[in-house]
Amino acid sequence: MTAVQQRGVSSWTLLSFAAVAFMARTVMLMLGPLLVILANDFGTSIAMAGQLAAATFVAWGITAPLVGPISDTYGRKPVLLIGVLLMALGVLGSGAAWSYGSLLATRLIAGAGTAMLPMTMMAALADNLPPEKVGKAVGFITASSWVGLALGVPAIALLGYIGGWRLPFYITGGLSLALWVPLYLCLPSGQRRLGQSIDLINRFKVIGRQSAPWYVLIANATQQAALLGLMTYFAAYMIENYGWDEANTAPGLALLGVGAVIGSFVGGFIAGRARRLEWLAAISLTSGAVTGLFFVLDVSAWILVAVAFVASVLVSVSMPVLTTLIMHLAGQSRGTAGGMFTTSAQAGGVIGSSAGGLMLSLGGYPAVGLLYLVATVLSASVVGLIMRRSPAFRLGGVGT
């Protein structure tokens, strides 16, 4: 903790950020182990139930870019507090859903709330840490978020097995609501500067007129398609093809989360290295091959889980590296850039879950694996062939 503690970033703040990141990731991915039981309860298909996960990503993608300029203007604290409250209310409301449509609506609320959290925290870290420390701090918070997959999502699977699909929503929503108080106490008040306006259009112009941030956004979207797609369909694949139930998927989901934690820490270290773009391109390409293999291999269940573990390590390396790059490119508009970055991640989530569901209905799980392979090949191409040669990543001090 002390390795990343600097002015304005206390241990309590980092712990609060880690807890919020943990809950946000859990909320975002909690539908994975519940897809089968939700499909059965609402009389629909697994592919249609997967659209509930896509709804979260859509709400996230719409909300995040609008929130970024607000956090740049009014400060990080108000955005974080409102985001935690909306996330908690959306999850609690999901537990009370009486139909597919009502669950879809509450997932949109939860998605809007979670959209306000991760990149606002990253912007707060970039505001208060020297550039050489940002990568490790981002890696720490990103890794903390993936503990939500290692511990939170398996707990969701177990709770769903024990008490039905409503119980996980009630417990997750209550824990999310409990985070509001420590977050309120540990963060300094955000104040608007006299005469300062949000100036939404100009803030987006600062980022959008540069080509370099767009490369980062494209690479992030395509990489996240494979990452979030794997997390969404892992449990359903094991249930349908190996006869597992929700409880059996919990250890496998935990391993995926551990893999993502490891990958995030690795990404945090790579983010500060001179040859990070070459490393990222190679790892992205490999991650797509391994993720694609998961959906086509005919091996024993736990060998397949091991393959998924390796895929989760590789595919999660990109987030800290790309987050660090976008924050350095953004200057004083880090919240705005963070919102755009989050939107790109959720665009990847929509591809991973929604397009994954379409591919599932058209060609089965091998078609899903092919989709994720194509996405990571595109990501590796953007990083290795375009970003690595862009002057912005060399002369701006953010590249190779």
Residue 238 lies in a domain: yes
Residue 172 lies in a domain: yes
Least confident segment among 56-70, 73-87, 110-124: 56-70
Going by pLDDT thresholds of 50, 70 and 90, the confidence category of residue 279 is very high
Amino acid 398: pLDDT: 44
Percent of the chain whose predicted confidence (pLDDT) is above 70: 88
Residue 153 lies in a domain: yes
Residue partners of 176: CB distance under 8 A and separation at least 6: 23, 27, 84, 87, 88, 91
Backbone dihedral region for residue 397 (phi beyond 0: left; psi -120 to 50: alpha; all else: beta): left
Residue 79 has pLDDT above 60, yes or no: yes
Amino acid 90: pLDDT: 93
Taking residue 299's Cβ as centre, other Cβ atoms within 10 Å add up to: 11
Amino acid 186: pLDDT: 76
Q: Shortest CA distance to 184 belongs to which of 7, 12, 4?
A: 12
Amino acid 315: pLDDT: 92
pLDDT digits (tens, 9 = 90+) for 330-362: 766 777 777 788 778 777 877 887 888 888 889
Amino acid 235: pLDDT: 82
Going by pLDDT thresholds of 50, 70 and 90, the confidence category of residue 380 is very high
Residues 147-171 have a mean pLDDT of 85
Amino acid 244: pLDDT: 84
Residue 85 has pLDDT above 90, yes or no: yes
Residue-averaged pLDDT of the chain? 82
Residue 313 lies in a domain: yes
Residue 36 has pLDDT above 60, yes or no: yes
Going by pLDDT thresholds of 50, 70 and 90, the confidence category of residue 5 is very low
Amino acid 382: pLDDT: 92
Amino acid 170: pLDDT: 93
CA distance linking residue 88 with residue 172, whole number of Å: 8
Amino acid 9: pLDDT: 59
Amino acid 6: pLDDT: 41
pLDDT digits (tens, 9 = 90+) for 288-341: 999 999 999 989 999 999 999 999 999 999 988 898 888 778 766 777 777 788
Going by pLDDT thresholds of 50, 70 and 90, the confidence category of residue 395 is very low
Least confident segment among 62-76, 94-108, 216-230, 266-280: 62-76
Amino acid 31: pLDDT: 83
Helix (H, G, I), strand (E, B) or coil at 260: helix
Amino acid 313: pLDDT: 94
Residues 83-109 have a mean pLDDT of 91
CA distance linking residue 146 with residue 257, whole number of Å: 6
Residue 193 lies in a domain: no
Residue 24 lies in a domain: yes
CA distance linking residue 353 with residue 335, whole number of Å: 26
CA distance linking residue 235 with residue 230, whole number of Å: 9
Residues 120-149 have a mean pLDDT of 77
Residue 116 has pLDDT above 80, yes or no: yes
Residues 369-386 have a mean pLDDT of 92
Q: What does the block give as tokens for 250?
A: 């919990």
Residue 6 lies in a domain: no
Least confident segment among 5-14, 107-116, 236-245: 5-14
Residue 7 has pLDDT above 60, yes or no: no
Single pTM value for the model? 0.72
Range of the domain at 214: 11-187+203-395
Q: Which amino acid is at 371?
A: L
Residue partners of 157: CB distance under 8 A and separation at least 6: 33, 34, 235, 246, 247, 249, 250, 253
What is the number of domains present in the chain? 1
Residue 3 lies in a domain: no
Helix (H, G, I), strand (E, B) or coil at 185: helix
Least confident segment among 88-97, 250-259, 276-285, 333-342: 333-342
CATH code at position 145: 1.20.1250.20
Amino acid 334: pLDDT: 75
Torsion 319-325-329-335 (CA) sign: positive
